[in-house]
């Protein structure tokens, strides 16, 4: 069992699902959110009949936001996009031992996901 700091580091340095220049963004459904501290998250999902077959992200922010985004993205592949609305974000909190004064990072992530779902629903 990895400690929360190891999980945080691993997720922070994991770039498997980071959007790269050669990715065709046209085929993704995108979502975005930002905050007053100049942190932001962009989500890109490819779905087939509402099933998420690929997910990518771009992120700027503290290590917690980066790790939350990375962990979240890794966990949603093959899920139904409509299940994201009920995603248990608190499970990520305990996984990386998110400090109380950094809980707002979770809202940032949640808002980007909601924005993505909205875009998907609008087609």
Residues 51-110 that bind another protein (CB under 8 A): 58-63, 65-66, 101
Is 30 a residue that touches another protein (CB under 8 A)? Answer: no
> Half-sphere exposure of residue 17, counting CA atoms within 13 Å on the CB side?
25
Euclidean distance between CA atoms 55 and 74, whole angstroms: 8
Of 39, 81, 92, 96, the one binding another protein (CB under 8 A) is 39
Q: What is the bridge-based pairing of β-strands 40-48 and 29-34? A: antiparallel
Residue 1 or 20: which CB sits closer to another protein? Answer: 20
Identify the helix (H) or strand (E) that includes residue 32. strand 29-34
Binding site for another protein (CB under 8 A): 9, 12-13, 15, 18-21, 37-39, 42, 58-63, 65-66, 101
């Amino acid at each position: 069992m990895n400690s929360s700091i190891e999980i945080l580091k691993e997720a922070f340095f994991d770039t498997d699902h980071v959007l790269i220049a050669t990715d065709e963004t046209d085929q993704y459904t995108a979502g975005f959110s930002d905050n007053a501290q100049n942190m932001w998250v962009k989500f890109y999902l490819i779905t087939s009949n509402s099933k998420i077959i690929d997910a990518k992200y771009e992120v700027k922010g503290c290590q917690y936001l980066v790790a939350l985004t990375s962990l979240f993205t890794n966990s949603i592949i093959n899920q139904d996009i409509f299940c994201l609305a009920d995603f248990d974000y608190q499970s990520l909190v305990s996984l990386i031992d998110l400090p109380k004064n950094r809980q707002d990072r979770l809202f940032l992530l949640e808002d980007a996901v909601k924005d993505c779902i909205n875009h998907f629903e609008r087609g």
